[in-house]
Chains A and B, each alone.
Chain A
Amino acid sequence: MQFMLLFSRQGKLRLQKWYVPLSDKEKKKITRELVQTVLARKPKMCSFLEWRDLKIVYKRYASLYFCCAIEDQDNELITLEIIHRYVELLDKYFGSVCELDIIFNFEKAYFILDEFLLGGEAQETSKKNVLKAIEQADLLQEVSTQSVTSEHLCKCIATPQ
């Protein structure tokens, strides 16, 4: 997998993870192009997209688009299921996940992603194991700091760029 992007229906980026080294400029260009292309697609169209020399696999969950870029010889369907698995993990962790959960705890979302995918490959496909690893790390995390973070982020979001 080359990279993974999460963005909202409004085209706001919510999460990005790059597994190939690219410059910031390129990243921005790719993101912009992809968000446009994917948002333009109708719901009945298929979840795959040939884009440059890559395959884009995307799926919409509520207001969030999950979008992965894979190489040509990779299996599209299984990538779709990777996305699904990740959503399942988030769901389990946050308890019925919504876009706001990811906005306010986006570092958590990253931690889960890192436990699930590492270096662009599925690391651990067992749901239980991933969550166990996260919980162990979370034990050390203070609960109190979370609210502070959330408030600030709320402001950030309220004033779009």
Chain B
Amino acid sequence: MREIMVRAMYCEMLGYDASFTYIHAIKLAQQGGVLEKRVGYLAVSLFLNEGHELLLLLVNTVLKDLQSTNLIEVCMALTVVAQVFPKDMIPAVLPLVEDKLSHPKEIIRRKAVLALYKFYLIAPNQVQHIHAKFCKALSDKDPGVMASSLHIYLQLIRSPDSYKDLTGSFVTILKQVLGGKLPVDFNYHSVPAPWLQIQLLRILSLLGKEDQSTSELMYEVLDESLRRAEMNHNITYAILYECVKAVYTIHPKAELLEKAARCIGNFVLSPKINLKYLGLKALTYVVQHDAKLALQHQMTIIECLDHSDFTIKRETLELLFRITNAQNVTVIVEKMLDFLRSCNDEHTIIHLIGKVAELAEKYPFNKPEFMNTLLPMKYNSWFIQTMNDVFSIGGDLLQQDDPNNFLRLLAEGSESKEEDDQLRLYAVESYLTVLKGHTSHLPQCFLQVMSWVLGEYAHLQESVDRREVIRLLTQLLDQRSVSSETRVWILSALTKIPEGQTDLILDLAESLSSSQDTVLRQQAQELRHLSQDSQLREFKPVAVVCVFSSQVDSSLSFLDGFVSEALAAGAAPYKPPHQRQEELCEDRALNLEPYSFSLPVSLSSCSITDRQSPTLLSVSSGLSGNSAELSQKAGSSTLILEGVKRVWGKDGYLPQKEATAPPVDEPSAAVQPASQQEAAERIEPRPEPSTQNQDKQQLASSLFVGLGVGSSVSLLGKSEAPPPRFRKKPRPHESSSSSGTSKRSSDSSSRSSRNTTDSFLYGSFPEEEPATSISTFDHTPKSTTANGLSQNKDTKEDRHANTSQILGGDMVIVRPSTIQDKHPPSVSSDLTALLPADLKDLPHSDVISLTSDPSLSLSSCRLFRDEALLLVIFISNCTETVIKDVAVQLTLKHKHQQMTLKNFFLLQVFEFMRLILMNSILSVTHRPLVVTTEEYGKLWLSLSHDVKQNLKLLTDAGDPLRTTLNALKDALQLHVVDIIGSEGIVACRLLSGAPCLLHCRVNGAALAMWLRSPHPALPDFILYHCQRALAHH
């Protein structure tokens, strides 16, 4: 039986059908002795695949063998389990396999681990509970078992977050392997356990991806691997390659990158063709991070391009595709097309043709002209020609997207109508030429594209008789090779051509009316009616302008009217899911009191408008984006309008704008008690500390919140999150108001000053300014005598209260500093003079008065430091008395913490710093980037994420472009690099160094802005602020 089975296997391999032996193979595994079993299992694993129904018959045998005392039998059972096993039956054997993880024999443990790996691959949720056991396998004393467990981890770590803590272990293992701690027989060509090394390197690169702290752990060991892998053998190159990839995947370290780049040189320059291939592959990977690396190997790349080996050529093209820019696109596309013409592999064609189309479509339009090496006319012809090639080569293998994208490009066009028409015209001309030639070999999809374009744009071409166009199209219809789908396309094109030759059309419609295809018949009927009825034809739009350009209004602003009506009728405002979530999470900090106020009130629509809470506002704005203003206008009451204006309108990004804004805000702010969502600041009376120095009794303070961004990385790392948040809820939280009533200190004997401060710094940056409210208590008039300065009306004490720094994520270091001496009184307008010496020289915004009342006034100002934004809050005493204690509560969004101005501020949990980090750092902390035009050009090409939009142009002064750019420059701290004719280039950068380049061009009354940055969210962000800045100019 056994021999027969072996023969059956052989027959099956030779291609004969041996399915009748399948059942016997199972029987053999079931009934035979050890020898038969071995062959039986082998036959089963070769014959059957996972889904085969006969496998169910095997389950019992496997179960029995797993429990066997014979090692060999267990081994065989595990082997077959790891190869073919029905998914549904995993639970049956799982406990047994799990047991085997602690088997004394390492071979059993190893196979058990691999069986579990297989289970994980086919049914990940069934092995979830044994992750701890994988951990044990990882620390197994046998290297074989440990190596097998790495397979599992490599899969698991594809979602790396929960495995970061294992980084240390992996690094240690790799170190041990490198140090030759493994038994000698794991060596391969005297390299210690290369498979293990590669596995580990891949795991490490997954772990270190976009994670600086984890990456730091592995720098050393990566360096060592790079160093050790110097022997000239394939296996060391394999490790090197993996190392280079890891180095470029994890958080970059300059030194390592340099070494890795040198290694790539070894690959590329190697005479061995395999290594060359791998070098190209590595380069392809690496140029995504640093395009310049390709420059060093120019010559090799060129050589490879003409290489006789297809594989090498293709890989080179892949590399070229990655380094394509506006200047070299024509050459690269040409090379790719050359390759495609000589290529006959379907998959390769599909793959590459898509890329060609992508390149061609990416570069023709929107190209800053000073970078354009081609004249527009030439460019058009190139583009159309390329696309013609794409369609004729790719033919019907093309994915549906490619023709669609092309047509959309034609239909939507770019900024200027002229250019578009030229392009369309060229397309029409070239298609007419193509159609006049031999058409039977053209792919269907090309014909479809052509007929669409001719239908839409044939009228642009004056010189060609419509009759001619119709004749060409009808000619197509007569061809047998044309599919019925294409016929439909052609017919609809004919429908679009105005004033068609009625006789021709009628003939055509007649002949097609009897077609078997119903769609075709329908079209033909329509066509006939249309051509017969001249009246009907009048109605027909002469040219269907743009079928594709239906734009999606993502802000749903057309619903605003409806929303405001619903709100007025007492409906609950819509809250986006994330906000609801936050509200749920937000606990005691939420002051519920105001709700009881606003709830009854909200029954009458009038009072809603009065008490329109910022929450409500922000909610509706979250819904409708920038159109909130509109929505409020649609609301009935003028009060709303005012409120809206105050809240939304004046929130210029410009500091000076803000300076003007708050006074306007004040009255409305005062009547907005309903907005307590952010937990209004609470003033807490502080018992006068006996130890307090009398000299320091007069109280005013300035608070420096230094937000040192610990590392640029953390910013970059986090920045994925903020932009959406930023977009979705532009300003949900900066409102704060303190209900002074409840906070009034009733017990204070002399005078209790109440301060209701409502600082509404709407909008400028989401929550850069913590809203503050202050009230003072326990003025002790006696102490004024102790203070020589008591007669001064405006005594101030500048306290360099503390500098808190945020390092990395949420870590806050609070550094209370000593209280500075009193400053001489000064005019309140010149508060900046009070700044400590080390901050005086920094650029700062205007001082903004946040609030004031008879006793206290509060103002703030922002300082821009290179690495941080400082927020200074001045608290000044307006009375003659001495204030001893001021409790300041800084509230930001929902988080709040207290600061007490005593000897120093006690900054407690700085939860809100996280928020500041996320939003305001990003928002305020870009700095001008000073570059030259040449540098700019280079940088521009290397950046990937781009955003384009048209902005308003300021037209009040002489040169609109210059005026606009200057306005932007003032508002956003940009650097205007150069202005050339109607185009200007501007640059700025984040604190972390990520640059953002802006290219502006005057286009009619609009400013076409094109932003690029390595950082995906930055362009959106800058654009947003540009819009704002211009809107408020």
Interface residues of A (CB under 8 A from B): 12-19, 21-23, 28, 42, 44-53, 75-78, 80-82, 85, 106-107, 110-111, 114, 118-119, 121-129, 133, 136-137, 140-142, 145, 148-149, 152-153, 156, 161
A140 touches B35 (CB 8 A): yes
Contact of A119 among B117, B237, B281, B347 (CB under 8 A): B117
Q: A105 CA to B371 CA in the complex, in Å?
A: 67
Chain B residues contacting A12 (CB-CB under 8 Å) are 14
Q: Given A53-B347, A121-B117, A137 and B241 touching (CB < 8 A)?
A: no
Q: Mark B92-118, 1 if CB is under 8 A from A, else 0.
A: 000000000000000100110011011
Task: Indicate which residue in A52, A78, A122 contacts B235 across the interface (CB closer than 8 Å).
Answer: A78
Answer yes or no: B257 CB below 8 A from chain A CBs: no
Q: How far is the CA of A78 from the CA of B144 in the complex (A)?
A: 17
The yes or no answer to B218 lying at the interface (CB within 8 A) is: no
User: Are B7 and A126 touching (Cβ within 8 A)?
Assistant: no
A119 with B14: in contact, given A22-B49, A145-B3 (CB under 8 Å)? no
* B633 located at the interface, meaning its Cβ lies under 8 Å from any Cβ of chain A in the complex: no
Whose C-beta in chain A lies nearest to the C-beta of B150? A121
| Nearest CB of chain A from residue B248's CB, rounded to whole Å | 14
Out of B35, B198, B238, name the residue touching A142 (CB < 8 Å). Answer: B35
Decide yes or no: A78 and B194 within 8 Å by CB, A124-B110, A124-B144 being known contacts: yes
B570 at the interface (CB under 8 A from A): no
Query: Which of B270-278, B900-908, B933-941 sits within the interface?
Result: B270-278
With A45-B308, A118-B79, A124-B147 given, name 6 new contacts (CB 8 A): A16-B13, A44-B273, A50-B311, A50-B348, A78-B242, A81-B235
**Interface segment, B185-193, B390-398, B763-771?**
B185-193
Given A77-B234, A78-B194, A152-B3: A126 and B278 within 8 A (CB)?
Answer: no
Task: Give the docked Cα–Cα distance between A125 and B162 (Å).
Answer: 29
A51-B82 in contact given A107-B9, A123-B111 (Cβ < 8 Å): no
What per-residue 1/0 map shows which CB atoms of B49-81 lie under 8 Å from chain A? 111000000000000000000011001000100
Closest residue of A by beta carbon distance from B34: A140
**Once bound together, how far apart are the Cα atoms of A149 and B10, in whole Å?**
11
A124 to chain B, nearest CB (A): 5
Instruction: Identify which of A13, A17, A121, A133 gathers the most chain B CB atoms within 10 Å of its CB.
Output: A121
Knowing A48-B277, A128-B185, A145-B3 are in contact, say whether A119-B15 is a contact too (CB < 8 A). Answer: no
Check: B196 CB closer than 8 A to any chain A CB.
yes
Which listed residue, A76, A123, A125, A149, touches B186 by the CB 8 Å rule? A125
Query: How many Å from the CB of B101 to the closest CB on chain A?
Result: 15
Contact A161 B16 (CB under 8 A): yes
A153→B7 contact, CB < 8 A: yes
Can you list 10 A-B pairs with a CB-CB distance of less than 8 A? A76-B274, A77-B238, A106-B10, A114-B79, A121-B151, A125-B195, A126-B185, A133-B107, A145-B3, A152-B7
User: Which 8 A/B pairs are nearest by Cβ-Cβ distance?
Assistant: A77-B238, A21-B49, A46-B273, A128-B185, A78-B238, A45-B309, A21-B50, A119-B118
Closest to A28 in B: B15
User: Is B46 located at the chain interface by the 8 A CB criterion?
Assistant: yes
Residues of A within 8 A of B195 (CB): 78, 82, 122, 125
State whether A49 touches B144 (Cβ < 8 A).
no
Residues on the A chain within 8 Å of B312, using CB: 46
Distance in angstroms between the alpha carbons of A14 and B9 in the assembled complex = 11
- Assess the A125–B188 pair: CB atoms within 8 A: yes
A107, B82: Cβ atoms under 8 Å?
no
* Residue from A42, A85, A126, A127 with most neighbouring chain B CB atoms (10 Å): A126
Q: How many Å lie between the Cα of A105 and that of B196 in the bound state?
A: 30
Residues of the B chain whose Cβ atoms lie less than 8 Å from the Cβ of A141:
35, 38
Given contacts A121-B117, A125-B193, A127-B185, A78 and B148 within 8 Å (CB-CB): no
Q: Is B6 an interface residue (CB 8 A)?
A: yes
CB contacts (< 8 Å) of B45 on chain A: these are 114
Contact A145 B308, beta carbon cutoff 8 Å: no
The 8 Å CB contact of B188, one of A81, A129, A133, A148, is A81
Whether the Cβ atoms of B16 and A77 lie closer than 8 Å is no
- Write the nearest CB–CB distance from A125 to chain B, whole angstroms: 5
A81 and B234 form a contact (CB under 8 A): yes
Interface pair A137/B238, CB less than 8 Å apart? no
Q: Which residue in chain A gives the minimum CB-CB distance to B41? A: A114
**Are A110 and B15 interface neighbours, CB within 8 A?**
no
- B186 (CB) vs chain A CBs: closest residue: A126
| Complex Cα spacing A141 to B72, Å | 12
Which residues of A lie under 8 Å from residue B238 when comparing CB positions? 75, 77-78, 80-81
Interface pair A119/B7, CB less than 8 Å apart:
no
With A21-B50, A44-B273 as contacts: A13 and B14 at CB distance below 8 Å: yes
Q: Is B278 touching A107 in the complex (CB atoms < 8 A)?
A: no
B2 near A: Cβ within 8 Å? yes
Note all chain A residues with C-beta closer than 8 A to B315. 50
Question: Which residues of the other chain, A, contact B35 by a CB distance below 8 angstroms?
Answer: 140-142
Is the Cβ of A119 less than 8 Å from the Cβ of B183?
Answer: no
Q: Does B659 contact A (CB under 8 A)?
A: no
Interface centre among A19, A124, A137, A140 (most CB of B within 10 A): A124
Q: How far is the CA of A80 from the CA of B238 in the complex (A)?
A: 9
